[in-house]
Copies of this chain bind each other. A is one copy, B any other.
Amino acid sequence: SRVSAAGAEPGSRPTAVAAVLPAGGCGERMGVRTPKQFCRVLERPLISYTLQALERVCWIKDIVVAVTGENMEAMRNIIQRYGHKRISLAEAGATRHRSIFSGLKALAEDQPDCKLTKPEVVIIHDAVRPFVEEDVLLRVVMAAKEHGAAGAIRPLVSTVISPAADGCLDHALDRAKHRASEMPQAFLFDVIYEAYQQCSDYDLEFGTECLQLALKYCHTKAKLVEGPPELWKVTYKQDLYAAESLIKEKISQEICVVVKTKDEESVGHLLKEVLKNELNCATITSTALDHSGGDIQNFLTDQCCSFIWVTVLSSDFQETRKFLTALEESSLPLLYPVVVVLVHCLDFTLVPPAQKMESLMWIRGLAKEVKKRNVLLSGLLINYSQDEQKLQESLQQGASIIAALVKERSPALAGQLLVA
């Protein structure tokens, strides 16, 4: 088993790995009627973020999602709309364990109409833990290869207590001697499938912990792997808020600056540099478009669904509309709402901002139109001053405004003409 442990070295990739996501839960705890995995964060169902996180990991070959019959169609729509790949659907059972078992069956070779290949290792993850990273997935998979089973754990935040029958404290547990069992978990497929086949109806109804099933029915002691706090389970309303903020933080760092003509490249470049600092950008794609939008596809190859468009062009209505249409009609996996900021550069001493705004009032109408399709269009005037300091100030303020639009993604502020 030293050999497989060595597989965890940097650069190595495990083979024959699949994932099962039980997504049959009904979200009672959220205090809303929508099951929490289907709650929308920035208009997009939470589960879609989780699928995206798993898809980014190229060595996960298949992802089986177990959903209830009534959500099957909605799930198919999500897969299509957000361009998810490598997903198979299985029918969820009445409990979490039954849903996982259903997902495992879809992966088992002994099933008749099975199109999937039985994996060596299977990851079990929750649909409501969208912030899982490749690193922790790799660590649990490698530990499962070595130990047969492995699961992410976290320190306890609260002390755990045991109540007596009268609703009073019986005893408190020693916090240092216990951990919270989180997801992802991973298993040798044969181990966990055997455990599910062996286990009792009582286990399938009332059990919660897969690691415990592997222990009870296969005598496999799971390796516990410390995970990061971002693995937490989105359970309550405040967790949805937290998820939204984390997603906003992430996507606001991926910006595409489109510069229309060569002569404006310099201010576009300056703006890009200021934006990089302002948004702590990981990805900032820059391109010069000579005609309006036709080649959007060509320069956007990032698989990730987060695009923010900052165009530096003194475009007219028709041109801008063509550009937006090209964007919407592209097969890019856009993350809606898409924010588009049309940046116009002019010397405020030569053209007063209010005058320019008058000539840009068409943005209001166009914004109203595209807002229906979840594209948030705004205009921004930057003072392209001869005075170096004034230019820098305006660029800095412009970048702050763009950052706010991009982070908040507030539909109410679409259609406005802003001045930096």
CB distance from A50 to the nearest CB of B (A): 15
Q: Specify which chain B residues have a CB less than 8 angstroms from the CB of A411 in the assembled complex.
A: 400
Q: Do residues B418 and A400 form an inter-chain contact, with CB atoms below 8 A? A: no
Query: Is A238 an interface residue when CB atoms closer than 8 A count as contact?
Result: yes
Q: Do residues B404 and A164 form an inter-chain contact, with CB atoms below 8 A? A: no
CB distance from A3 to the nearest CB of B (A): 20
Which of A147-194 touch B at CB < 8 Å?
147, 149, 151, 153-154, 156-164, 167-169, 171-173, 175-182
Q: Specify which chain B residues have a CB less than 8 angstroms from the CB of A222 in the assembled complex.
A: 168-169
Query: Is A344 an interface residue when CB atoms closer than 8 A count as contact?
Result: no
Query: Is A89 an interface residue when CB atoms closer than 8 A count as contact?
Result: no
Q: Which one of B160, B179, B181, B209 lies within 8 Å of A179 (CB-CB)?
A: B160
Q: Do residues B162 and A180 form an inter-chain contact, with CB atoms below 8 A? A: no
Q: Do residues A159 and B181 form an inter-chain contact, with CB atoms below 8 A? A: yes
Residue of B nearest to A158 (CB): B180
Q: Do residues A156 and B160 form an inter-chain contact, with CB atoms below 8 A? A: yes
Q: Specify which chain B residues have a CB less than 8 angstroms from the CB of A163 in the assembled complex.
A: 153, 177, 179, 224
A55-63, A226-234, A260-268 - the one binding chain B: A226-234
Q: Which one of B164, B171, B244 lies within 8 Å of A245 (CB-CB)?
A: B244
A411 and B236 CA atoms in complex are apart in Å by 29
Query: Is A6 an interface residue when CB atoms closer than 8 A count as contact?
Result: no
CB distance from A326 to the nearest CB of B (A): 28
Query: Is A358 an interface residue when CB atoms closer than 8 A count as contact?
Result: yes
A242-B239, A354-B357 in contact; A158/B181 too (CB < 8 A)? yes
Residue of B nearest to A278 (CB): B412
CB distance from A353 to the nearest CB of B (A): 7
Which of A390-420 touch B at CB < 8 Å?
397, 400-401, 403-404, 408, 410-413, 416-419
**How often does this chain occur in the complex, in copies?**
2
CB distance from A132 to the nearest CB of B (A): 14
Q: Specify which chain B residues have a CB less than 8 angstroms from the CB of A208 in the assembled complex.
A: 159, 172, 175
Query: Is A349 an interface residue when CB atoms closer than 8 A count as contact?
Result: no
Q: Do residues A233 and B168 form an inter-chain contact, with CB atoms below 8 A? A: no
A354-B354, A401-B412 in contact; A246/B238 too (CB < 8 A)? yes
Q: Do residues A181 and B160 form an inter-chain contact, with CB atoms below 8 A? A: yes
Most buried by B among A169, A206, A355, A364: A169
A182 and B29 CA atoms in complex are apart in Å by 17
A-B contact list, 17 entries, CB within 8 Å: A157-B233, A160-B179, A160-B180, A161-B178, A161-B211, A162-B179, A163-B224, A164-B221, A169-B212, A176-B206, A238-B239, A241-B241, A241-B242, A354-B354, A403-B412, A404-B413, A413-B418
Q: A352-B358, A416-B418 are in contact. List 10 more A-B contacts (CB 8 A).
A: A153-B161, A161-B178, A168-B221, A168-B224, A169-B212, A173-B178, A175-B208, A241-B242, A403-B412, A404-B413
Pairs A-B, 9 closest by C-beta atoms:
A241-B245, A354-B358, A400-B412, A242-B242, A404-B412, A238-B242, A158-B180, A168-B221, A172-B212
